[in-house]
Amino acid sequence: MTYRMVHVGLGGQGRTWLTEAIPPNVEAGRLEVVAAVDTDPERHELARTELGLSPDRCYTDLDTALTERDADFCSVVTPPAAHEPVVETALSYGLDILSEKPIADTLAGSVRIARAVEQAGAKMGLTMTHRFDQDKTTFRRAVEDASPVDYLTARFTGNVRERGHYSPYVHEMEDMLLLDGAVHHLDMLASLVDAPCERVYADTWVPDGADYRGDCTGLVTLTFADGTRAHYEGSYANATTLNGWGHEQFRAECADETVVLDNREVERFGRDDDRAGESAGRDDGEHVPPVERPTWTNAWLIEQFCDWLGGGEPMPTDVASTLRSMAIVFAAIESSETGEAVEVPTMLNEARAVAQVQ
């Protein structure tokens, strides 16, 4: 079945959707873009050139677009602070929703969105893109073979201290490491554990010379209900880019195997008691061949969402599941502000209680 989509947001990541994520799904017959919406009319040209939309299908106002065009779902590829009103409008027209991360720019907003979707009986998925890249998928499957996991580590470090590498608004974000980068990395760590995250401790800061308003470097420790631990190191302001965007290092320590993802290569190191105490070299492990499939990241997530609309299983990053990842991120933000560990279930339950009375 072909689903009719209204695409909301043509700048930044919205441009990537137009050029990389949407076309494979249009070609496969999964979706048809019936309209594009952006408050800046100068961006409409991209929708016309990349998707072949006529000028009368490009709008500056979502309500007008949904009044004039029949659709099954709408995308939300706007800045996080604008997600909630877009979702509210889409739900008022009976649409399902596929949104960029995070759900919203606050935990309260994220809870309100999840609650509104549930009350409307709608489907909403989030494009937690990183988890569905080829190298991360290969790593996940290798870890599943080696389970159970004792502890996990992740490293994302880069020398992007100055402006010009990312959109200017990223440099002005509060808590930019946690909301821009770690929102993906912490979600990836949590997805590798078969238990909810219970406790988060985070320490974040802005190193000297880094041109960021919000903290761009930090260390985060996660404790899960089954006793699994995870540790995250993230920085946009190091002297050297060891594991930059898309080339992160993840390591899973299991009882009889260590699995490492580093710069998009996955290796597994089996337990070898004959070499106890000897350090293993990079080439001592067994190379894990990359998983192959037609599409990755957002293109694959759009495919998963369409399958869900067609009666398939909910996508792994449905709004209810992603809300738990958002709670981890906002718990890390609170921990970095207070200097104390934060109980994730308590924080999420308190946010839900507030949403109930609003």
- Residues 275, 309 share a domain: no
Can you give the pLDDT at residue 93?
98
Q: Is the pLDDT of residue 164 over 90?
A: no
Q: Is the four-CA dihedral 290, 296, 297, 302 of positive or negative sign?
A: negative
Provide the CATH number for the domain around residue 118: 3.40.50.720
- Residues 148, 72 share a domain: no
- Residues 135, 125 share a domain: no
- Residues 262, 119 share a domain: no
How many other β-carbons are positioned within 10 Å of the β-carbon of residue 275?
10
Q: What is the mean pLDDT of residues 222-233?
A: 98
pTM attached to this predicted model: 0.94
Residue 325 is assigned to a structural domain of this protein: no
- Residues 135, 271 share a domain: yes
Q: What is the pLDDT of residues 250-277, one digit of tens each?
A: 999 999 999 999 999 999 999 877 677 7
Residue 303 is assigned to a structural domain of this protein: yes
Residue 56 is assigned to a structural domain of this protein: yes
Can you give the pLDDT at residue 170?
81
Place of tokens 């759900």: 103
- Residues 136, 114 share a domain: no
Q: Is the pLDDT of residue 358 over 70?
A: no
Q: What is the pLDDT of residues 67-100, one digit of tens each?
A: 999 999 999 999 889 999 999 999 999 999 999 9
Q: Is the pLDDT of residue 189 over 70?
A: yes
- Residues 148, 94 share a domain: no
Three-state secondary structure readout of the chain: CCEEEEEECCCCHHHHHHHHHHHHHHHCCCEEEEEEECCCHHHHHHHHHHHCCCHHHEECCHHHHHHHCCCCEEEECCCHHHHHHHHHHHHHCCCEEEEECCCCCCHHHHHHHHHHHHHHCCCEEEECHHHHCHHHHHHHHHHHHHCCEEEEEEEEECECCCCCCCCHHHHHCCCHHHHHHHHHHHHHHHHCCCCCEEEEEEEEECCCCCCCCCCCEEEEEEEECCCCEEEEEEECECCCCCECCCCCEEEEEECCEEEEEECCEEEEEECCHHHCCCCCCHHHCEECCCCCCCCCHHHHHHHHHHHHHCCCCCCCCEHHHHHHHHHHHHHHHHHHHHCCCEEHHHHHHHHHHHHHHC
Residue 252 is assigned to a structural domain of this protein: yes
- Residues 84, 142 share a domain: no
Can you give the pLDDT at residue 201?
98
How many domains are there within the chain?
Answer: 2
Residue 339 is assigned to a structural domain of this protein: no
- Residues 206, 93 share a domain: no
Q: Is the pLDDT of residue 167 over 80?
A: no
Place of tokens 């946690």: 178
Contacts (Cβ under 8 Å, ≥6 apart) of 288: 138, 139, 142, 259, 266, 267, 268
Question: Residue 263 belongs to what domain range?
Answer: 131-287
- Residues 239, 180 share a domain: yes
Residue 341 is assigned to a structural domain of this protein: no
Distance CA 114, CA 87 (A): 10
Provide the CATH number for the domain around residue 242: 3.30.360.10
CB 236 within 8 A of CB 161: yes
CB 230 within 8 A of CB 182: no
Give the pLDDT band (50/70/90) at residue 165: confident
Task: Tell me what the pLDDT averaged over the chain comes to.
Answer: 95
Q: What is the pLDDT of residues 280-310, one digit of tens each?
A: 776 789 999 999 999 999 999 999 999 999 9
Can you give the pLDDT at residue 271?
87
- Residues 223, 174 share a domain: yes
Give the pLDDT band (50/70/90) at residue 357: low
Q: What is the mean pLDDT of residues 130-141?
A: 97
- Residues 208, 269 share a domain: yes
Residue 8 is assigned to a structural domain of this protein: yes
CB 224 within 8 A of CB 196: yes
Q: Is the pLDDT of residue 169 over 80?
A: no
* Three-point CA angle 256, 258, 261, nearest 5°: 155
Phi, psi of 282 (to 5 degrees): -60, -35
Q: Is the pLDDT of residue 166 over 90?
A: no
Question: How many residues appear in the chain?
Answer: 358
Residue 17 is assigned to a structural domain of this protein: yes
